[in-house]
Every structure is written in structure tokens, then in C-alpha cells.
Structure 1
Amino acid sequence: MRQLIPAAVLALTAELSAHWETHATLDSLFTYAGAPGTPPDGSKPAKAMAWLRRVNNEASSPLQVLGQIIERYMEEALDPTDRWDKDKIAERDKLLAALAASNLQYLKGGRVVGAMGTPTRTLSEFIQEGDVQSIDQEFERAIQNASVSPREAVSAASNILESVCKVIIAEEGLPMPNKQDLQSVWGVVRKELRIDPSKVEDQDLQTILSGLIAVVHGIGSLRTHASSAHGAGKTPYRLEPRHARLAIHAGHTLALYILESWKKRQAETLAS
């Protein structure tokens, strides 16, 4: 289905590209991205706006063109001296927020997709099929949202881990715990897959596995505590984007390890 660039996103993209590009680099950028036709006349803002409207009217995939246009702005938030450019970061975050408000998401590599992912397949189906690339994209969406809304990004990572555990419980016919939060479903899966540091002979692996187990408790608690003030007289927990990214990356690593352990267990069952 052909999806147009939403008006708010179109306006911000025109403003952003006109601000950071010369006429020559603007022409080059839009041509590289596959924007149809020759460069429109007028000032840089007028040119960018007219060309983006033409993309909506004439391009076979407007969101694909959009992704190529904004790729550098999304992924290169450093100035030539390798210091964080606060203006570029702020403008990138505004664009991310506009995409999210339009139920869209930027993915690394110049891709703009629906925030719900592929509509014909659910996260549970990705997990059942072992579709690691699609699961990676779910975590990538959480990462991209970390700057705009760290708490929601951590919640998304926690939800993915919960889904991984719940799918395994359902597929293996295991008893679902009464309380279906992350730590509870993880406890069932951990026991089933024998993820136990004490059973591993290598001390270095024991250390790593112990850390991964702590990740589950940390992510689950972070999602809860970051939204509360922890009682009167105490400073509320302020979750920053760097905290969210740490939790999301750790959760990603754990999710893949759980899936690989499950597949190994399935293979052993078939072989026996």
C-alpha cells in the first residue's frame, strides 16, 4: 500500500534540509534519494517543500524517498570536530517525535516504516519463526525512541522480552504464572531452558550469565521505578536516554540468547 509522507513530517523535513544544505547539496540529496523530476525553483525552503510534495504526488514509495533524505540527519548527529551538535540532535528528535505521532518509525539505514512493523505478522509470529532480523528491528525501534521518550522505550524492550518468554511458555506447553510480568515469565523460561550459572563450568561464562539474569530484574524494575517518585521527600528517578539505551541493548542481547537456547533445546529434543 502506497503511504504518503504526513504533512507535519513533510514540513519538518523541508525545514531541516533547507537549514543544513546549500542549493547544490539539496539538489544532490533529493536526486540521490529518488525524488522525481528536476529541482524546483525558489528559495531552499520553497524548493524542499515543493519537491517533497512532488514526492507524495509522483513517487511510487514516498516513505522510501523520505528515509533516504533524512538518513544523514538521523544517524550523523556529530559535527566535524566530533563534539555533539546540540542543534542537530534537537532537530533530529523533533523529526523522530513527528514520525512517532504519525505512527511511523525511522530505522537505521534510511528506512521509514509503520511503527507497528509489518501489519500481517505479529511479534509473536516473529518469535515463533525465529525471525531474528524482525526482532532486531523491534529493538531498533525502541532505540530510536530512547531520545524522545526513554521510559516508553524501556517499556518496549521489556515488552519484547516478555513476549519472547510467553511464546516459549505457550509453545512448550508450560504453566503460565499467575502474575505475568517479566520476572515471573522469565523464571519459568529460565528453569525450562536450564539457564543456570551454577551449572556452567567455565567461570567466565558463569559471570556473563549472572549478569544477564540481573538484566531481567533491572529492566523490569526500571520500567516500574522510573515512573514513580519513590515516596514523599525523595527525588524522582529521572530516566535519561543513555539509561534507556543501556537497558535496551542489554535486553536485546538477552532476548537473542534466550531464543538461541530455545532452538538448541528443540534440536536436542528432536535428536533424542
Structure 2
Amino acid sequence: MRIDLSDQSVDALAEVISGGSASGQERSIGLYRQGWRLEAWFKGFEVSFDLKRESRLPATKTALHGAMFIDSGKGELLKRIIESAADPRDFIKEPERHAAVVEYLNKHLFYDGLKLEQAGRTMRLVEIEETAPVTNALSAMAAGIDFDTVSRDLERALRAAVSDPELAVTSASAVVESVCRSILVELKLDFPAKQDISSLYRAVRDPLGLDPMKEGLAPEIINDVKAVLSGLVTSVQSLGSLRTHVGGAHGKEKGFRRIDARIAKLAIHSASAIALFIIETWQLRHPGRALPLRDRPNESS
């Protein structure tokens, strides 16, 4: 991972690590560390920290620039430093403060193409994947309606597109499945016996009225819309087949690759388009009626 921090990100990181200036009028968002603690903190990364020429906050910025020079864009050292700056163990007594620190850093790191995210008990620095407009639209809509299941599956798919394309396909398929299950839950309809993506999509087609004859369309375009909807069915079926053949849920030997990132991203974008269409159709048929946050009642997140 190549890391090129902007001056603004360095300033934010220095604020968090040092706890800001000792003479600051307002409480710093970071944890206040005395000079000797800062020296010990940077020593753990084999980065020089010198208080003889500068006070704590400027010396912290200088140390970070020194780390950038040592790192030479490789990212390994800076990744460790940034992740350690947001270590949740330092905020055990103030978990809400830890959340504020992560948000503060992420607002700056965003412009460097990076973000911090929770990974079990630790924080992990990851690259922000550039996404297609349809994926951005689905992300925005899922966030807007608090649809946590879709947001989680979509983020998982985007993260895995390059590193684990098979897992990305599984997560992409799960996006569509989550939307369909949520609609069935909200309408109090029975789940199909087989809960794969094709069966779930078929189960919501009639309740959503996905039939161009019911849309009041002009006669000359009914067949065209039918063809588009038929293509949607084909896309759903193809996603299900792809997941069956290469999806991470079905096991594979370590290091094996049946597909590359291009195919994984195609699956993600296809799933996003399908899920977006289903949600927009739901909103058209049931204006103001929210979908459940999760695709099953009492499902753990």
C-alpha cells in the first residue's frame, strides 16, 4: 500500500498522537502525551523524536515527516503508525472519544484515498476503492435508509475485489439477497424453500409488480421494457451461478484464483444495479414505508 499523506493529514495525525499543544484553550481530540511518552511512542517505530529544538506538537509533526522519509512511500511504517494512533486500547475509559478520533482522522485520510476501519479488536488502515456511479448510488441510498445489511455486504465486496475476488462475488450476491429478504420480511411473505438469489428475486417480482403491462407504459415500448426486465432476470441468475462456481463461500485452496478483479467488479456493479432497481421500485410502490434494517427479524449484525 503506497501512502502519501497530505500536510493536513500529518497535522491531524500529530494532533491525535500528541494531544495538541499544552497551552491550547480547547481540549484536544487526541490523548495528551508528555514529551518522554512521545519519545517512547516513536521509539517503538524506530523513528527519531527530538524535543530539544521544538515543543511537543511541532516535534511530533517533524517525527511524522521523518517517518514518511524513512517509509519512502512504501506504506508499511506509516500504516503501523496511523493504526497505532487509533488503537482502541488507549481509549478503554472513553470509547466515545475513540470514535471521535477515528472520524476525525478519516475525514482527513479520505483525501489521501485511505480510511481506518474496525477489524476485530484493532483498527486497520485500508485504501478506498474507486467505485462506479451505480455503486455510489446504492451506497448513498443504503445509508440514507439505514439499510445496514446492504451497506455491510457492499463494503465487504468492494474491499475484496482485488485481494479476494471470489469473496467479492459472494458478497455482491448477498447484497441482492439482503434486499429481497427485507422486502419479504416487511410484506410478511413466506421465504422460498430455496433461499438463493434467483429464488429470492422471483419471490419479490410479483409483490413489486415487476411487469411492464402493469406500468401503464406506451404500447410501443412495452416489449422493450420486457426485454430489459428479462435481462435483469438473466443477470440475477448469472450472479447466482457465478457465486456457486467461484464464490468464497464454497471453499477453495489457498492462493487459487478462478477470476480476476475485473470480473469481481463486474459482479459488484451488476448486483448494485439490480439492488438499486429493486429498492427504487419498493419506494415507488410503497412511498414512505421503510424496509427493515436487517433482512431477518432479530438477526445479529
TM-score tier, shorter chain, comes to: 0.5 to 0.7
Offset at residue 194 of structure 1 (A) = 2.2
Offset at residue 268 of structure 1 (A) = 11
Offset at residue 254 of structure 1 (A) = 0.9
Offset at residue 238 of structure 1 (A) = 1.3
Q: State yes or no: 1:174 paired with 2:199.
A: no
CA contact (8 A) 2:9 2:109 kept: yes
Alpha-carbon spacing, 1:180–1:133, altered in 2? closer, same or farther (3 Å): closer
Residue 70 of structure 2 corresponds to which residue in structure 1? 45
Offset at residue 64 of structure 1 (A) = 3.7
Offset at residue 245 of structure 1 (A) = 0.7
Offset at residue 165 of structure 1 (A) = 0.9
Q: Kindly provide the amino acid, as one letter, of the partner of residue 30 in structure 1.
A: V
Structure-to-structure mapping, 1:95-106, within 5 angstroms: 106=126
Question: Which TM-score applies when normalising by structure 2?
Answer: 0.53
Give per-residue Cα distances to partners, 1:166-196, cap 9 Å, x unaligned: 1111211222211111111111101221223
Alpha-carbon spacing, 1:54–1:267, altered in 2? closer, same or farther (3 Å): closer
Distance 1:262 1:55 in 2: 40
Residue 244 of structure 1 corresponds to which residue in structure 2? 264
Greater Rg by CA: 2
Decide which of 88, 109, 112 is 1:72's aligned counterpart.
112
Q: Secondary structure at the match of 1:179?
A: coil
CA contact (8 A) 2:13 2:85 kept: no
Give per-residue Cα distances to partners, 1:250-270, cap 9 Å, x unaligned: 11111111112122222499x
Distance 1:181 1:51 in 2: 41
CA contact (8 A) 2:212 2:225 kept: yes
Q: State yes or no: 1:157 paired with 2:182.
A: no
Q: Secondary structure at the match of 1:242?
A: helix
Alpha-carbon spacing, 1:260–1:45, altered in 2? closer, same or farther (3 Å): same
Q: CA RMSD in A?
A: 4.4
Offset at residue 55 of structure 1 (A) = 6.0
Offset at residue 227 of structure 1 (A) = 4.9
Question: Which TM-score applies when normalising by structure 1?
Answer: 0.58
Identity of aligned residues (%): 29
Decide which of 10, 19, 32 is 1:30's aligned counterpart.
10
Distance 2:85 2:257 in 1: 46
Aligned length: 205
Alpha-carbon spacing, 1:265–1:182, altered in 2? closer, same or farther (3 Å): same
Give per-residue Cα distances to partners, 1:69-116, cap 9 Å, x unaligned: 4753559xxxxxxxxxxxxxxxxxxx99x9699575858499xxxxxx
CA contact (8 A) 2:170 2:247 kept: no
- Higher RCO (C-alpha 8 Å, min separation 6): 2
Q: State yes or no: 1:226 paired with 2:246.
A: yes
Residue 143 of structure 1 corresponds to which residue in structure 2? 158
Alpha-carbon spacing, 1:151–1:186, altered in 2? closer, same or farther (3 Å): same
Residue 258 of structure 1 corresponds to which residue in structure 2? 278
Residue 87 of structure 1 corresponds to which residue in structure 2? none
Distance 2:162 2:258 in 1: 13
Q: Kindly provide the amino acid, as one letter, of the partner of residue 151 in structure 1.
A: E
Alpha-carbon spacing, 1:181–1:65, altered in 2? closer, same or farther (3 Å): same
